Each structure stands twice: as C-alpha cells, then as structure tokens.
Amino acid sequence: MIYFDNSATTKPYKEVVDSFVTVSNEYFGNPSSLHSLGGEAEKLLFQAREQAAKLLKVKPTEIYFTSGGTESNNIAIKGAALLSRKKGGHLITSTIEHASVLAAMEQLELEGFEITLLPVDENGRVRASDVEQAIRKDTLLISIMQVNNEVGTIQPIKEISEVLKKYPGILFHVDTVQGIAKVPLSLYENRVNLCSFSGHKFHALKGSGVLFIREGARLAPLFSGGNQERMMRSGTENVAGAVAMAKALRMTMDKSETGIEKMKRIQKILRAGLNEIEDCIIHTPIEGSAPHILNFSLIGMKSEVFIHALEAEGVFVSTTSACSSKKKSPSKTLLAMGVPEYIAESAIRISLSFDNTEEEARMAIALMKKAANHLRKVMN
C-alpha cells in the first residue's frame, strides 16, 4: 500500500497508540476529581500541556486542548466575535480557508457580523496589501491559514503580521493544521494571537487538538459547563488523547528537519513524473508551497474515477480536502485561483508524511501513468 492522503489524516504512531491505551487503562480518573486517581490524571494533563507548550515555544497557560482543528477554529473565530461584538462587527478571511473557518464566518454573518472574503492570486496566495486595504475601524479579527489544505500554498503570515503591528486591537488567527512541523511558524514573532492545531494531522489520534490563545487575548467560551480548560472549553478532558497528542507532536518535530528535506525530494520526483503524463496540469506552485502537498488535474478525466483506479493498484490519494471530497464539487481553492471549472473538477491531491519514501513516489508515478493511459483508452 502507498498512502498519499496524509493531509486528510495520518496513521498514528504505534508509540502514540500505546500511550493512549496505557493512560486510558491505568490513569482513567477524572482530572477534576479530588481523589488520587483524579490527581494522577490531572498531573498527566499538566505534563502534556507543558510538553506541547515547549514544542510550540509558548507558555503552558496559552495551550488549550480541544477535539481538533474544526473546534479550535470555531472557538477562535466565534469566541472573538461574540466577546467583541460591542466594539465592532467586522471580520476578514480569505476565499480559500478550510470549511470550518468559512462556515463559522457564514454563521456569524447570519448573526449580523460583516465578513470580508479576500481573493487570492493565481498561485492561491493572499496579498498582504489586500489585508491592509480591507481593515476597518470595526475590524476585530483576521483569520488566514498558514498552508492551504488543497494546493499547499504558503500564505504570507509574516507580511500580514507586519501590517497588523499598526492595529494592536485586531486579533490574528492562523489555522496551521496543515503547516505544523512542515512549515516553520513562530507564533510570537508573527504576532499570532490564536492558532489552531489538529492531532490527527501529525500522527496523533482523531479527536485531539490544540488552540493556542496568546496571553492577553480574550474569547467568549462556546461551551457552558464545568469550566475545564480554564473556563474556555468545558467538558471532561480527554487526558489520554492529550498525552498521546503531545507524544505525537514531539516525535513529529524530532523528524521535522530531515523529514522536510526528504519530502522535497519526493515531491521533485512526483512533479517530474506528472509532467510526463498527457494533459496533466500541476496546480501547486513550485515556489512558496509546502513540501507535502501536490495538486494536479488530468484534463477530461473524472477525479473520482482516477482515484478508484489507483486504489485498485494500492495507491491512496484524494480529490479536494477530505471535508468536501464527497460533495463532488470543484475545488473552491482552484476556482479562486482562476482555474476553469472543467479542469478543477478533475483535481487530485497527493499529500505526504515523513514516513513516505522516494521508492513509493516512483512506484506511484508508474501506476498513475498506467491508470491514466488505460482510462483514456476506455474513454476514447
């Protein structure tokens, strides 16, 4: 099996699964309980928070455990909007954000907030100048992803942070679900107030995530209840998930430097091979893109047909993002980049992990050529 769908989800590390099982079996107490079992669970949760903070180079008090990227995005965006409604009702984001960001913005729009959707250029990149032009007196939040989940374009986070130095009252939210450990990001240096992470994108388990809330930033909690996570995210904590996620983050970060270089070599092999396939267009820009995502179209070929043909050969890729792949609609990111709809409809996404190999890339290209040639003969 060649698994090239890591942007949808990664395979959990064995050590991470073992950690989750151990904590679930031996430290199953509720962290809020006063007895020793609760105290042991609370201690593990504290240690996981400290480890995550150290790896992200922030303070433990700025780490909030969530169920994943979608929840982190919703808490950041809605929490900021609802708390600051009296000060202003304007939010800025881009047309190529993850569905959890755009849907949250749409919901706020129904509540009376005003949303500005920024365009992107032909490479899928937001312009920092457009961000600055969109800022108003009542702007309260700007939400821009670090790495686009469909084509891999890296957004100008640093340039946007320079713009925002003149606007200290505006919160800056970055969705780094696709960027963590693959594209460097200093949360402090880039004036990031809020940042979303999802564990299953870096070999942790599904249902675990982090929201970084910089000291001084204030949000309205979306959940009411037992006031866990310092009143920001009520609900009994997923201790095993948090511990396992902290371990996965450490293991992934340890592999980062060599893993990134390996992924660059693999992507180079894939690009060269795809360029040899008839009527293949690569959408991921060569410069300014993450090393693990490669998006392309085979003109005139339905993406789902090609995906199933590859699956029969043991190669697993995807269409757009996993959250929208079953809708069978053209990639919103590619359309925003100016790609014609008939080409966007045939988009395929390859996404790598540090565990993929150059040999897998060569085998996958050979099987893609075989599948493309066969399908074109059938179509003709």
Walk along the chain (380 residues) and give the pLDDT tens digit of each residue.
Answer: 999 999 999 999 999 999 999 999 999 999 888 899 889 999 999 999 999 999 999 999 999 999 999 999 999 999 999 987 766 699 999 999 999 999 999 999 999 999 999 999 999 999 999 999 999 999 999 999 999 999 999 999 999 999 999 999 999 999 999 999 999 999 999 999 999 999 999 999 999 999 999 999 999 999 988 888 888 888 989 999 999 999 999 999 999 999 999 999 999 999 999 999 999 999 999 999 999 999 999 999 999 999 999 999 999 999 875 555 455 678 999 999 999 999 999 999 999 999 999 999 999 999 999 999 988 887 76
pLDDT at position 327, please? 58
Long-range pairs of 301-304 with CB within 8 A, sequence gap ≥ 24: 301/346, 301/372, 301/375, 301/376, 301/379, 302/345, 302/346, 303/345, 303/346, 303/347, 303/348, 304/328
List the one residue out of 2, 167, 207 whose CA is nearest residue 87: 167
Which CATH class, in words, describes the domain spanning 14-251?
Answer: alpha beta
The total of other beta-carbon atoms located within 10 Å of residue 127's CB is 16
Q: Tell me how long the chain is.
A: 380
Beta strand 2-3 with 90-94 is unpaired
pLDDT at position 326, please? 57
The whole-angstrom separation of Cα 301 and Cα 374 is 11
Beta strands in the chain (DSSP E): 2-3, 63-66, 90-94, 114-118, 139-143, 171-175, 194-198, 209-213, 280-282, 293-298, 315-316, 347-351
Residue range(s) of every CATH 3.90.1150.10 domain in the chain: 2-8+256-379
In CATH, the number for domain 2-8+256-379 is 3.90.1150.10
pLDDT at position 81, please? 95
Maximal C-alpha separation, the chain: 71
The whole-angstrom separation of Cα 98 and Cα 84 is 23
Residues labelled as active-site residues: 323
The whole-angstrom separation of Cα 240 and Cα 17 is 10
The whole-angstrom separation of Cα 233 and Cα 133 is 34
Q: What pTM was computed for the model? A: 0.95
Please enumerate in sequence order all residues whose Cβ is within 8 A of that of 199, keeping only pairs 6 or more positions apart, or say none: 68, 205, 206, 207, 208, 209, 210, 241, 244, 245, 248, 249
Residue range(s) of every CATH 3.40.640.10 domain in the chain: 14-251
pLDDT at position 236, please? 86
The total of other beta-carbon atoms located within 10 Å of residue 58's CB is 20
pLDDT at position 87, please? 62
Q: What angle do CA 217, 183, 99 make, to 5 degrees?
A: 65
Find how far residue 362's CA is from the centre of its chain: 27
